[in-house]
Structure 1
Amino acid sequence: MKKIWIFNHYAIAPGASGGTRHYDLGKELCRKGNQVRIFAASFNHQAKQESIRYFSSQYVQKEIHNGVQYVWIKTIPYQKNDWRRICNILSYTFRAFMECRRTEEKPDIVIGSLMHPLAALLGYVVAKKKKCAFYFEERDLWPETLVHLGKFSRKNPIVWMLSQLEMFLYRKAERIIVLFDKAVDYVSNRGIDRGKVLYLPNGVDLSRYNYPHQEVPSELEELLNRLQNRLVAVYIGAHGVANNLDSILEAASLLQQDDEWKDKLMFLFIGDGTEKNRLIKKANEARLSNVIFGPAIPKEWVPIVLERTHIALVSMLKADIYKWGFSLNKLYDYLAASLPVVIQCHLETTLIDQAGIGIKVSTSKEMAEAIRWLARSDNERAKMGEKAREYVEKHHSWNELSNRLIDSWMSKERERECLK
């Protein structure tokens, strides 16, 4: 049995909207006899509101969900990316560290997850203080992501500082966890031994797709009822700049002009983000009657929505950062729901076209054509959907991925034994 502490500022518990990577991983690790503790801020990043009720002098609350212990840290609230968000990050880092100092318990492994650099650095500091193994999980390739998405120049001092911090964490980590299939090359290109790197992508809890499901709120049921007798192309996830959702709206516009499909095909957007209001306004101005926007929903409700859809959509910005691969939570939910995927990107190849579980396109016009082709063929959709489910069961179930993590620390222990 191992005691694993995970530092992820933005980790969420069941019932909230957003990525559930560490909860799903932790649940599987607990099921296999380990203990998992997640240190997370209780201020919800998506909803921009506090999710835990504290008494006046409290800064920490604890909960257990399916064996996974959450240590909720009270942080300074914020509503946008300004100085208050910086204060939120600093308050999480300081208060989580102080909570670790107060406990005499010692973990076997600390995972510092780079949702922001201080959480990963905090993981290293705690691991050193507790004299245990440190695993550095690089969720995004900082600072490369900031540069390639156009947020910072490579000459910016912040980029230099983040690059130095990245190298520091690489050197200090016993294992470096990456989510992208080619990110092992990225790390090794920086002079780090490939043997330290563990490819552990996002995955899916397949038990959520054991129908039937629980009831959903009336407003969501009402939205889903509007889709009856229609063929539905769905996007579930963040509505941000990097998600390139304008391209999906353009595909919807093209298909609305097609007499064959204007009354048969609907586009459903589920989620929230900085671009959502602008996208709704754009759809209204273009009078897109084949587009529906729904709210962000808890992970537990995603299968209910996907069960009533037929084609899944992904659209990615043209950015060099994707040459190292990608690991989208939404993608594995699509595959678990046996949906064929239409993905717009500028990569030469993706797992979608390699595995025969969808169609890769480069433009919104091509996306519209791919959707039209899939809409006409129930047989092709069914075949791709069957392959999609087989693929995700083999490569991206949390049962399989948790075994991969367990094998990595077992192999490290064998290495230490050989050195004695």
Structure 2
Amino acid sequence: MNILFLTDNFPPEVNAPASRTFEHCREWVRAGHEVTVICTAPNFPKGELFAGYRNRLWQWEAIEGIRVLRVWTYITANVGFAKRTLDYLSFMVSGFLAGLLVRRPDVIVGTSPQFFTNCTGWALSLFRRRPFVFELRDLWPESIKTVGAMEDSVWLQAMERLELFLYRRSAAVVSVTESFKRNLISRGIDSDKIHVVTNGVDLSRFHLLAPDLALREQLGIPAKAFVAGYIGTHGMAHALETVLEAAAMMRSDSDSGRKPDARAMNDSLAIQPIYFLLLGDGARKQALKTKAAEMGLDNLIFVDTVPKAEVPRYWSLLDVSIIHLRKADNFTQVIPSKLFECMGMGIPVLHGVAGESAEIVQREGVGLVFEPENAQALCGGVLRLAQDRALYGDLREHCLAAASRYDRSTLARRMLALLERLA
């Protein structure tokens, strides 16, 4: 079978869409299928080309047996609605033209969050007379309203109509959450065409590792410190100001201006200081760094995005992983993919996302759930895991046990079975 996959993001980019697409396509190649990915030159999230790449009309490369065709797009940083829309539209056009020239596929897959990629997939399915699959990773444009990037308008309403049109015209929709499936059904999409294939973890990369002590020393983290970390995009949706507020409450220095209630709550800091690590880039990264400097947060460390192969080293530094999104109804339908990587690494989570993902955390027993955008609740969770070693050990064991239930290889084969039926 010849699979054509359309996506904005692909390695060496390291965000969730790039990882999911690569890991699925790699498994499909191993199963004996031919996979061609049409994508952009790597530039996410800063809008800067990665070393060794140029924004050419097109350029071919092979990554672990996957044929990768990178096409020209209007490149911009992941900030600003108008410029990002130009980026999406340019890929819609160049991706379509490239899709006409590659060998005729048996099935065409387009992935969100933004659905202009799926406009390309649908159009190619008409011209190439092959089935089109809409992979639904986010409810876009609903998420645009949720983060406040754009108010409700005629333009947004038109995009929502286009969104529904694409769901209806697809041969199948592959949703990453049950909540997204319920959302589509409530909006009139046939339930029989919606298939759920959740995100998962590549257990060949994300597994139990001893802490990288050299890296810990390089970052200036004290040997006895308990490290709570966030690894991922620093965007409008993530409300990482909450982490900064928690770091301010938990400084061990009595002259640091901590609130008295936080000092009383955390008498153990003199014995085990709490450090926060934020790794990644995004639209809010610079603003967060500026605010942290103004707050004098000497217990918080920022690290820019690192190559994909280096990410597990940074995971190994964390005693607990913070997963957080803004407090909004739309985000109750989201399952952050880093949750599964935490399971694979055996790192308990502090989960500041309500809804379906919180249910997974509680069902699998892999962490503690706290109210989104509640810094005091986040502090309480950090302290509880730092002090209750029996609870911490139980959560760690549950993480490692649960990881096998979200093995990316198994999930990729589940999606492959659907593509084979459609083809």
TM-score between the two structures when normalised by the length of structure 2: 0.88
CA distance in 1, matches of 2:101, 2:419: 27
For 2:250, what is the secondary structure of its paired residue?
A: helix
Once residues 209 and 236 of structure 2 are traced to their aligned partners in structure 1, the CA distance between those partners, rounded to angstroms, is 35
Question: In the alignment, does 2:325 pair up with 1:316?
Answer: yes
| Residue 374 (structure 1) aligns with | 385
Q: Structure 1 residue 393 and structure 2 residue 404: aligned?
A: yes
Task: Tell me which residue corresponds to 2:334.
Answer: 326
User: Matched residues in 2 for 1:167 and 1:211: separation?
Assistant: 42
1:237-263 deviation line (CA, Å, top 9, x unaligned): 111121111111222222224342255
- Shift of the 92–248 alpha-carbon distance from structure 1 to 2, 3 Å rule, reads same
1:22-101 paired onto structure 2 within 5 Å = 22-51=21-50, 58-79=56-77, 80-81=79-80, 84-101=83-100
- Maintained 8 Å contact 1:62/1:69: yes
Q: Which stretch has the larger CA shift, 47-56 or 197-206? A: 47-56
Give 1:286's aligned residue: 295
Provide the rounded CA distance (Å) in 2 between the counterparts of 1:275 and 1:12: 22
Tell me the residue number matched to 1:416.
none
| 2-structure distance, mates of 1:55, 1:200 | 34
1:343 aligns with 2:341: no
CA distance in 2, matches of 1:343, 1:55: 39
User: Residues 227, 36 of structure 1: CA spacing in aligned structure 2 closer, same or farther, 3 A cutoff?
Assistant: farther
Q: Does structure 1 residue 112 correspond to structure 2 residue 71?
A: no
**Matched residue, 2:308:** 299
Partner Cα distance (1:403, 1:46) in 2: 29
Q: How far does the alpha carbon of each residue in 1:151-175 deviate from its partner, in whole angstroms, 9 at most, with x for none?
A: 3344x11221111111111111111
- Superposition deviation, residue 357 in structure 1: 1.0
Aligned AA for 1:368? Answer: C
- The reply on whether 1:353 has 2:350 as its aligned counterpart is no
Residue equivalent to 2:233: 238
Q: Is the 8 A contact 2:206 2:341 kept in 1?
A: no
Q: Does structure 2 conserve the Cα–Cα contact (< 8 Å) formed by 1:18 and 1:299?
A: no
Q: Name the CA shift for 1:354/1:55 in 2 (closer, same or farther; >3 Å).
A: closer
| Contiguous gaps of at least 5 residues in structure 2 | 252-262
Amino acid in the other structure paired with 1:377: D
What code does the residue aligned with 1:33 have? G
Query: Residues of 2 paired with 1:181 and 1:201: CA distance?
Result: 8
Distance 2:403 2:209 in 1: 20
Distance 1:246 1:8, change over 3 A: same
Unaligned runs of 5+ in 1: 414-420
Inter-CA distance 209–55: structure 2 relative to 1 (3 Å threshold): closer
Provide the rounded CA distance (Å) in 2 between the counterparts of 1:24 and 1:48.
24
Are the counterparts in 1 of residues 277 and 301 from structure 2 also a CA contact under 8 Å?
yes
Give 1:222 shift: 5.4
Residues 176-187 of structure 1 correspond to what in structure 2 (within 5 A)?
176-187=173-184
Q: 1:164 pairs with 142, 156, 161, which one?
A: 161
- Asked whether the equivalents of residues 114 and 141 of structure 2 are also in contact (C-alpha less than 8 Å), the reply is no
Distance change in 2, residues 1:341/1:114 (3 Å): same
Give the C-alpha shift of residue 82 in structure 1: 6.2
- State the partner residue of 2:412: 402
**What secondary structure, in the 3-state scheme, does the structure 2 residue paired with 1:359 have?**
strand
C-alpha displacement of 1:179? 1.6
What amino acid is aligned across from residue 401 of structure 2 in structure 1? E
- Shift of residue 227, structure 1, vs aligned partner: 4.6
Distance 1:43 1:336 in 2: 27
**Per-residue deviation, residues 173-201 of structure 1 (Å, max 9, x unmatched):** 11101122211111111112111001122
Cα distance in structure 2, aligned partners of 1:159 and 1:352: 33
Secondary structure (helix, strand or coil) at the match of 2:268 reads coil
Deviations, residues 331-375 of structure 1 (Å, cap 9, x unaligned): 222121101111123449521122211111112112111110110
Q: How many angstroms apart in 2 are the aligned matches of 1:410 and 1:7? A: 18
1:275 and 2:284 matched? yes
CA distance in 2 between partners of 1:47 and 1:248 (Å): 22
Match of 1:253 among 248, 256, 261: 248
How far did residue 378 of structure 1 move?
Answer: 2.6
Aligned residue-pair number:
402
Distance in structure 2 (CA, Å) of the matches to 1:357 and 1:82: 36
RMSD (CA atoms): 2.5
Residue in 1 aligned with 2:255? none
Change in Cα spacing, 1:143 to 1:346, as seen in structure 2 (3 Å) is same
Shift of 1:393: 1.5
| 8 Å contact kept, 1:8–1:115 | no
Distance 1:376 1:84, change over 3 A: closer
Aligned mate of 2:131, from 109, 127, 133: 133
**Identical columns (%):** 25
**Could you tell me how far 1:122 is from its partner in structure 2?**
0.3
Q: Give the AA of the match of 2:243.
A: I
